[in-house]
Structure 1
Amino acid sequence: MKMVLQRVAVVGAGAAGLCAARHILSRPNSFACPVVFELTDNIGGTWCYVERIGQDDHGRPIHSSMYRDLRTNLPKEVMAFPDFPFDPQLSSFLPHQEIQKYLKKYCHAHNIWPQIRFNTMVEKVKPVVLAKEVEKNTMWEVTSCDLSGHQKTEIFDSVFVCSGHYSEPYIPNVPGMKNFKGKLLHSHLYRYAEPFSGQSVVVLGAKASGLDISIELVKAGAKVTLSHGRPRLTFPLPSGIRQSSPVVAIEDNGSIRFQDGSVDQADTLMFCTGYKFRFPFLDADQLGLKIQDHMVSPLYRYMMPPAFPSLFFISICKMICPFPNFNCQVQFALAVLDGSVSLPSRAEMEDDVHRVLRDKVDRGFQQRHLLDMFEDQWEYCDMLARTAGFPPLPPVIQGLYKEVWRQRQVHPENYRSHNYRLISDSQWELLK
Structure 2
Amino acid sequence: MNKIAIIGAGASGVAALRQAVEQGLDPTVFEARASIGGAWILANANHDRSAECCSISFDADRVANVAISQSAFTLFDDDKFSFPTSTPMYPSLRTNVPTLLMQYNGISFPPATQLFPGPNVVENYISDAASNFLEFFQFNTHVSTLRWTTKDDAGDQRRWTLETQSTLDFNSRIESYQFDFVIIANGHYQKPYIPFIEGLDSFPHDITHARFYHSADSFAKKNVLVVGSNASGYDITREIAESIVKKQVTDTDSVMKIYQSRKSLSPTGENFDGPENADWCKIITVLPTISKIQGPDIAFCNGTILSNIDTIIFATGYYFSFPFANQIYAPFNEFPLTKQVPLPNGTVSKQHRDGGLRVHYLDSRDIFYLPDPTLALIGLPYHVLPLSLAQIQSRVAIKYFTKQINLEFQVGTPEEYPETREALVYGHPKQYDVHDALLKEIGEGGEGDGLYCKTPQYIRDLRVGAFSLRRAVLGY
Per the normalisation by structure 1, the TM-score is 0.83
Q: What letter matches 1:44 in structure 2?
A: G
Say whether the 8 Å CA contact 2:103–2:109 is kept in structure 1: yes
Superposed counterparts of 1:38-117, under 5 Å: 38-50=31-43, 51-52=49-50, 53=52, 54=68, 59-108=82-131, 111-117=132-138
- Identity between Structure 1 and Structure 2 (%): 26
Alpha-carbon offset, residue 248 of structure 1: 1.5
1:6 equivalent in structure 2? 2
Deviations 1:349-395 (A, max 9, x none): 23xx247x99xx8xxx9943110011221121111111123423532
Task: For 1:287 and 1:380, locate their aligned partners in 2 and report how far apart those are by CA, in whole Å.
Answer: 29
Superposed counterparts of 1:1-400, under 5 Å: 5-27=1-23, 30-32=24-26, 34-50=27-43, 51-52=49-50, 53=52, 54=68, 59-108=82-131, 111-128=132-149, 139-146=159-166, 147-148=168-169, 149-221=172-244, 223-230=257-264, 234=271, 236=274, 238-252=281-295, 254-264=296-306, 265-283=308-326, 285-286=332-333, 288-292=335-339, 293-300=356-363, 301-344=365-408, 349-350=410-411, 353-354=412-413, 367-374=420-427, 375-390=429-444, 391-392=452-453, 394-395=455-456, 396-400=458-462
Deviations 1:159-187 (A, max 9, x none): 11010001100001111112212210001
Q: What letter matches 1:379 in structure 2?
A: D
Deviations 1:302-338 (A, max 9, x none): 0111111011100011111111100100000011011
Unaligned runs of 5+ in 1: 131-136, 419-432
SS in 1 for 2:259: strand
2:253 equivalent in structure 1? none
Aligned residues: 386
SS in 2 for 1:243: strand
Say whether the 8 Å CA contact 2:197–2:293 is kept in structure 1: yes
Deviations 1:52-92 (A, max 9, x none): 43487795240511122101111101100011011122221
Task: Tell me whether 195-204 or 157-166 shows the greater mean CA deviation.
Answer: 195-204
Task: For 1:175 and 1:48, locate their aligned partners in 2 and report how far apart those are by CA, in whole Å.
Answer: 35
2:251 equivalent in structure 1? none
2:448 equivalent in structure 1? none
Q: What letter matches 2:174 in structure 1?
A: Q
Say whether the 8 Å CA contact 1:138–1:308 is kept in structure 2: no
Say whether the 8 Å CA contact 2:226–2:261 is kept in structure 1: yes
Q: What letter matches 1:224 in structure 2?
A: I
2:474 equivalent in structure 1? 417
Distance change >3 Å, CA 250–CA 117, structure 1 → 2: same
1:429 equivalent in structure 2? none
Deviations 1:95-148 (A, max 9, x none): 11111111121122xx12221111100001112378xxxxxx971101011134
Task: For 1:138 and 1:392, locate their aligned partners in 2 and report how far apart those are by CA, in whole Å.
Answer: 35
Distance change >3 Å, CA 56–CA 6, structure 1 → 2: farther
Say whether the 8 Å CA contact 2:325–2:337 is kept in structure 1: no
SS in 2 for 1:112: helix
Task: For 1:393 and 1:129, locate their aligned partners in 2 and report how far apart those are by CA, in whole Å.
Answer: 43
Task: For 1:383 and 1:305, locate their aligned partners in 2 and report how far apart those are by CA, in whole Å.
Answer: 19
Deviations 1:270-293 (A, max 9, x none): 000000011000035436244142
Say whether the 8 Å CA contact 2:195–2:316 is kept in structure 1: yes
1:423 equivalent in structure 2? none
- The Cα RMSD (Å) is 2.5
